[in-house]
């Protein structure tokens, strides 16, 4: 694989995403629950966010739509990955962070400033593949996916895959695994799922934003992994649903906790959130992978935002609170068209309680 080709793929992915955002905002920019046409503080405010690439398609739409009604608020979101985003926030290089791997109590205590976190949306991860002659619909189980990423299953016509897909003529093409090369919340969700369904994975690479991959090729960001898969026949990787749709990669259903093969959709993601709702109300960091329910897609997660409890710049603090209040209201409906599941009202209500703790005066 040539680096130039990967760069071009990433650029193309961004171009497609930008076109979608502009079209969406043009049709939906008139709706807003925020405070008029300027910043909440009455003057120009520049906000910088950094982190999750998982949430980037939604974040780009949110910031563009919000700014149509709040012209004095400049929002710059940098999709550098969850690990880098947490680091940028911690180092004061970003006003807010975004991570798909929620911070533990110890992580929060280790922050140089009191920090609050809350989820803003839920999404699902797709097992994408590039297998000429085989279109959408390849069935996989969590155990088989784990064995592929462990390097135990090496060819596409392996009996473990062929047995799940007797109607398909699978080639003997070697499997090339594509995974994230950077610290990633997408990897955190994916390895959380594999650790739930595969003892070999749990006791091997395990769960984390970064793991020691037994095999494969790394790509930076969701768009990087999508680029590796798109350019390399025989590849398989994991990306957030919006990236799979935008780049027109092939994917199929995954066997869920109840034994049903379920496609990744907004509805199947919402079913996962609903299945975990009671646990989420007790602790919003509860994992939502491998939830029970016949219609639940098993590889789902949420993106969490990190904000300072007492922002030094009160105008920025007020703008952040106003923006995320808008995200938890109008933004939830907008996210659905970008393949994210709106959070239920019992969760957004708890989020609003967290935002109310931010000291903006």
Q: What residues have CB less than 8 Å from 257, skipping those under 6 apart?
A: 290, 291, 292, 293, 296, 298
Q: Is the confidence at residue 223, as pLDDT, over 50?
A: yes
Residues in the chain: 361
Mean per-residue pLDDT, 333-358: 93
User: Using 50, 70 and 90 to split pLDDT, how confident is the model at 342?
Assistant: very high
Residue tagged 């695994």 (tokens): 177
Q: Sorting pLDDT into bands at 50, 70 and 90, what band is 335?
A: confident
pLDDT digit string, tens, across residues 149-184 = 999 999 999 999 999 999 999 999 999 999 999 999
- Residue 117, beta-bridge partner list: 306
Q: Please check whether residue 36 is in contact with residue 66, taking contact to mean a CB–CB distance below 8 angstroms.
A: no
Residue 253 has pLDDT above 60, yes or no: yes
> Is residue 138 scored above 60 in pLDDT?
yes
In this predicted structure, what is the pLDDT of residue 13? 41
How do residues 265-319 score in pLDDT, each as one tens digit? 999 999 999 999 999 999 999 999 999 999 999 999 999 999 999 999 999 999 9
**DSSP string covering 102-132:** PPPHHHHHTSSS-EEEEEEEEEEEEEEE--T
What does pTM read for this prediction? 0.87
| Confidence tier at 42 by pLDDT (50, 70, 90) | low
Whether 108 shows a pLDDT value over 70: the answer reads yes
Please give the torsion angle defined by the CA atoms of residues 48, 299, 263 and 259, in that order, rounded to the nearest 10 degrees: -170
SS3 content of the chain, % helix, strand, coil (to 5): 40, 20, 40
Average pLDDT, the chain: 90
| pLDDT band for position 37 (cuts 50, 70, 90) | very low
**337 vs 106, 151, 267, CA distance in Å?**
36, 36, 12
What is the architecture, at CATH level 2, of domain 124-282?
3-Layer(aba) Sandwich (3.40)
Domain span(s) for CATH 3.40.190.10 in the chain: 3-122+304-355, 124-282
Q: What is the C-alpha radius of gyration for the chain, rounded to an integer number of angstroms?
A: 20
Which of the four pLDDT bands, split at 50, 70 and 90, describes residue 336?
confident
The CATH superfamily assigned to 3-122+304-355 is Periplasmic binding protein-like II (3.40.190.10)
Percent of the chain with pLDDT over 90: 85
The CB density around residue 155, as the number of other CB atoms within 10 Å, is 15
Do 227 and 13 touch, CB atoms closer than 8 A?
yes
């Amino acid at each position: 694989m040539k680096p130039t080709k990967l760069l071009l793929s990433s650029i193309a992915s961004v171009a497609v995403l930008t076109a979608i955002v502009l079209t969406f905002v043009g049709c939906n920019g008139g709706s807003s629950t925020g405070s008029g046409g300027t910043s909440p503080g009455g003057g120009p405010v520049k906000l910088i966010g950094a982190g999750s690439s998982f949430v980037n398609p939604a974040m780009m739409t949110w910031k563009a739509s919000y700014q149509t009604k709040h012209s004095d608020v400049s929002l710059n979101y940098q999709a550098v990955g969850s690990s880098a985003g947490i680091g940028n926030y911690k180092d004061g290089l970003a006003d807010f962070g975004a991570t798909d791997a929620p911070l533990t109590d110890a992580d929060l205590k280790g922050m140089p400033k009191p920090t609050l976190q809350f989820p803003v949306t839920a999404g699902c991860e797709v097992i994408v593949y590039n297998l000429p002659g085989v279109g959408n619909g390849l069935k996989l189980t969590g155990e088989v996916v784990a064995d592929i990423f462990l390097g135990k299953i090496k060819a596409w016509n392996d009996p473990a895959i062929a047995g799940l897909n007797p109607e398909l003529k699978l080639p003997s093409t070697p499997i090339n695994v594509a995974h994230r090369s950077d610290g990633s919340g997408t990897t955190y969700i994916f390895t959380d799922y594999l650790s739930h369904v595969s003892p070999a994975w749990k006791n091997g690479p395990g769960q984390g934003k970064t793991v020691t991959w037994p095999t494969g090729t790394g790509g930076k960001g969701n768009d990087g992994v999508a680029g590796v898969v798109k350019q390399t026949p025989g590849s398989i990787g994991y990306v957030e649903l919006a990236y799979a749709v935008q780049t027109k990669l092939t994917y199929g259903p995954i066997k869920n906790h109840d034994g049903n093969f379920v496609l990744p959709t907004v509805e199947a993601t919402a079913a996962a959130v609903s299945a975990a709702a009671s646990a989420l109300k007790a602790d919003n960091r509860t994992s939502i992978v491998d939830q029970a329910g016949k219609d639940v897609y098993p590889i789902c997660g949420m993106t969490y935002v990190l904000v300072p409890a007492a922002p030094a710049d009160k105008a920025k603090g007020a703008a952040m609170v106003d923006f995320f209040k808008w995200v938890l209201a109008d933004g939830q409906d907008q996210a659905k068209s970008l393949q994210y599941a709106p959070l239920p009202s019992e969760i957004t209500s708890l989020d609003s309680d967290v935002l109310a703790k931010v000291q903006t005066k």
